[in-house]
């Protein structure tokens, strides 16, 4: 069994204590981190090795964005796509040579897209849609057992947000974003592993820092996802989101999402 987790950590160096706690308490084999906010040489690789995660693939940049995959099983650096088309560090792919006949694990951080859901008024929103279009063209060519995980910055389903009607004009749940993400999912024939395991009920992975009491208000969104190609999706089970981590000391505004695969 392979246990995989994804977490937008919002600065890996600042929040290293809670990452260590998460790994110690949840028996994770591979952890995909987004928004690490550091360059590759600044990533705390030595500490991860000390706690049992010596295999690391990092795509970082100074102060912003950045993704990293840490593992206690062998992984090989496989790909780094610039779907943003401006050099930002938002993707790293690894091969897991000993499992699933060389399964690929893609770790992605989709742009948030700013506050105005209109590409004419908001360049960032247009960049987000273009990012998804490039990711869709890539997904159409995927020909190996693959998982793609990360912060997609889109809550696609009505049950992925606290109020569907109120959020239809809010970036992350607008129809145009949901449509673009759906096209990417269709192109790769991706299975939403979390919702395959938990098809019913409200489910969130992000709660805004702006809420004084995020837990009581519970105005969340499911922005973080684990998708798999059909040839391995049936092996997935045990999906969940560790909501409690949102309340840990100096938390990220995201909670970890994970699933197990019998491969």
* Backbone φ, ψ for residue 106 (5° rounding): -100, 130
What pLDDT score does 100 carry?
A: 65
* Domain of 176, in residue numbers: 2-261
Query: Residue 205's closest CA among 151, 163, 164, 165?
Result: 151
β-strand partners of 106: 93, 148
114: left (phi over 0), alpha (psi -120 to 50) or beta: left
| Separation of alpha carbons 34 and 149, rounded Å | 10
What pLDDT score does 102 carry?
A: 85
What pLDDT score does 99 carry?
A: 73
Tokens describing residue 129 = 């849609």
| Average per-residue pLDDT for the chain | 96
Cβ proximity of 155 and 222 under 8 Å: yes
Is residue 48 very low, low, confident or very high in pLDDT (cuts 50, 70, 90)? very high
Q: What is the pTM of this model?
A: 0.97
CATH number for the domain spanning 248: value is: 3.60.10.10
Provide the 3-class DSSP secondary structure of residue 151.
strand
Looking only at the bridges linking them, the beta strands covering 103-109 and 91-96 are antiparallel
**29-44, pLDDT tens digit by residue?**
999 999 999 999 999 9
**181-234, pLDDT tens digit by residue?**
999 999 999 999 999 999 999 999 999 999 889 999 999 999 999 999 999 999
**80-117, pLDDT tens digit by residue?**
999 999 999 999 999 999 776 689 999 999 999 999 99
Q: How far is CA 49 from the centre of its chain?
A: 22
What pLDDT score does 263 carry?
A: 83
Total of domains in the chain: 1
């Amino acid at each position: 069994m392979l246990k995989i987790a994804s977490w937008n950590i919002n600065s890996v160096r600042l929040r290293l204590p809670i990452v260590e706690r998460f790994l110690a308490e949840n028996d994770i084999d591979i952890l995909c981190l987004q928004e690490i906010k550091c360059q590759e040489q600044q990533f705390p690789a030595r500490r991860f090795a000390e706690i049992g995660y010596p295999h690391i693939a990092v795509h970082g940049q100074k102060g912003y964005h950045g993704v990293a995959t840490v593992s206690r099983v062998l992984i090989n650096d496989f790909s780094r796509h610039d779907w943003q088309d401006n050099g930002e560090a938002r993707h790293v792919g690894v091969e897991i040579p000993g499992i699933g006949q060389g399964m690929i694990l893609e770790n992605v951080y989709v742009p948030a897209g700013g506050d105005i859901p209109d590409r004419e008024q908001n360049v960032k929103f247009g960049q987000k849609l273009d990012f998804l279009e490039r990711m869709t063209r890539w997904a159409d060519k995927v020909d190996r057992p693959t998982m793609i995980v990360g912060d997609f910055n889109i809550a696609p389903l009505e049950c992925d947000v606290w109020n569907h009607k109120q959020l239809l004009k809010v970036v992350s749940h607008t129809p145009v974003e949901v449509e673009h993400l759906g096209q990417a999912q269709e192109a790769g024939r991706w299975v939403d592993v979390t919702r395959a395991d938990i098809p019913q009920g409200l489910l969130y992975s992000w709660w805004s820092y702006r809420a004084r009491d995020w837990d009581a208000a519970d105005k969340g969104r499911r922005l973080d996802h684990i998708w798999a190609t059909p040839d391995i999706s049936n092996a997935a089970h045990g999906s969940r989101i560790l909501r409690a981590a949102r309340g840990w000391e100096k938390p990220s505004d995201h909670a970890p999402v994970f699933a197990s695969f019998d491969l």
